[in-house]
Structure 1
């Protein structure tokens, strides 16, 4: 379930569009007339295109009768993404995703520093994205040269047949940063494949354009990056990008506290120690995936079983895990889990 997906309530007649994810399993949906309500995730089901089509056919055979004008259809207004999908352990492909109910005419390109210090723009692709569709670009982006990736620029216009509100053009720049980019791994909308995702049309950026003779305050123009700012950003020391490590981990990772904290626990409580073990597990698993490993084993011990249970829970939801099993019973008993990576 993603922002922009159409859903309906299990115990009520309302339908709406997912607008925001809230804490504690709550989801905010926008229903008719623009009202937004929080609903438990377990009380929502997606409305599939096939279901909508069947409902339409059923209605077409109903006896003709006078129908009062209904409220306007609920539109998915947000959902333009750049997505990077791994081709192998070295390269990524770039996709432009339109998960809205609008047609999106776009131009996509790259900005990079020129030889004379200015900014050069290179066009990659242009076209028209239909609602709930995507476009794959031709270029591949190499993991080893991540810090040299360009700034991606997307410019777009919105279109929908009939009477609609005028929407401001979308102009968005995106520069991938090591400290945040690899934390965005999720299931990519429309493609339903794992990838690294960034949303270009966040709600704060999507103010509707003012109509002619309107008294509304004019919307601010997108900030333009000067050549000096771009050059200074690209010449920042690499030490600022050391927040995420992608060193290949060992085939067997021991999560025992005495291995992680050989100098003592320093008065950490059990909850803090468990968090340290889980953080280490997450980091080693992601490093194993990023470095192209086929499998990795985690030693978690027996104990109360809480660590093993939490590891198996997270592994069961991970899009890049093929399967996992108790490993090397002769050596570890049931205190280790072997993970096979897709």
Structure 2
């Protein structure tokens, strides 16, 4: 008999029941009983308990018709892993690939552990839908494998195709250090981890420097930026009163990226970006870009006595 994490089982040779919370090996499972003790048990000594926790009325009642209607979610469009806790077996978590986008995704998931590979999931995840891709015990986090997500994005719209995504992810304790929240398209709580923000960005400093030249003949040099960059829109554009919020954000991010690139070319040791506090959108976007940049050693709030939380200092390698 094949069992999976979260199954409710009964011991054959004694009066004891519990949930499968660990797959120890091909012949042994970890079963957590009602007292919270996890017991290693041979698979041959277990039997499934069907319909556990379901009343007769619930079994006989007709199932409601499910209609797939794209839900309106507060989360930003993207590709996520929703890690949901099991309501029955507390330390078991279930991974759902959450497609929070208007595109269709073709997914392949592979696990790698000590240079041994195993395929875990393959399939199609429709727009604004999710699919269960993996289950594990949170107590075994340290021995979880590294996951490789290969994602092909399909759209019927008139848009340029994007390159296939290859995302490698090793889950760490910090991924589960925040408070659990309600997950989209789920009744469970857990953690939402964005995948398409994890695609690495590789910057070639020499090519970056060359990109500042209009042509080799002009032999222009890259102008060194100020070591303190003010990103308030009124400092960047005189016509800011006529701009939409998303236009303002893009202008600020472009100015930030250009200044950051120039600082890399000129081998700055550090610089400060003044983004203001506001609603935190610009600050969050900047911090995401900084965290992916291979030329940056660390970053922190800059001079709180002067800027409060309205500026970030970047330290280069």
TM-score exceeds 0.5: no
Which TM-score applies when normalising by structure 1?
0.34
* Alignment TM-score, normalising by the size of structure 2: 0.37
